[in-house]
A = this chain, B = another copy of it.
Amino acid sequence: MEAGNIYKQVPDDLSDEVFEFLAQSEDVKIERIISKGHKSPGSGWYDQEQNEWVLVLKGSASISFENEAVIDLKEGDYINISAHVKHKVISTSTITETIWLAIHY
């Protein structure tokens, strides 16, 4: 049984975003992401084959969508991004780390 605490073992060096799979099967990946001021590359969109359900556990972030909607996420906020819905992360907190839980399914 793989177990842990989602808030712990945060690396001191967050110059790069940190990606870690907590559990996975053939079709599903459960991932922790830690950002600090990171955002998506300036041009282009994420266009994903799978649905992604994402929850901000700590920190804050903003996601923009191709339809021009911008969603601000604070602690506890979640959003379901269906496959092929184009989006990008336009900001994450620079003050504290942002801990995401992402379910790719």
Interface on A for B, CB 8 Å cutoff?
1-8, 22-23, 25, 27-28, 30, 51, 53, 55, 57, 65, 71, 74-82, 85, 101, 103, 105
Are B27 and A27 in contact, with the CB atoms below 8 A? yes
Do most interface residues of chain A lie in helix, strand or loop, or is the interface mixed? strand
- Sort A-B residue pairs by CB-CB distance and give the 9 closest, nearest first: A28-B105, A7-B76, A3-B79, A5-B76, A23-B80, A2-B80, A23-B53, A6-B76, A5-B77
Alpha-carbon gap, A81 to B23, bound state (A): 10
Determine the residue in chain B with the shortest Cβ distance to A29: B105
Are A3 and B78 in contact, with the CB atoms below 8 A? yes
Inter-chain contacts of A25 with B (CB < 8 A): 51, 105
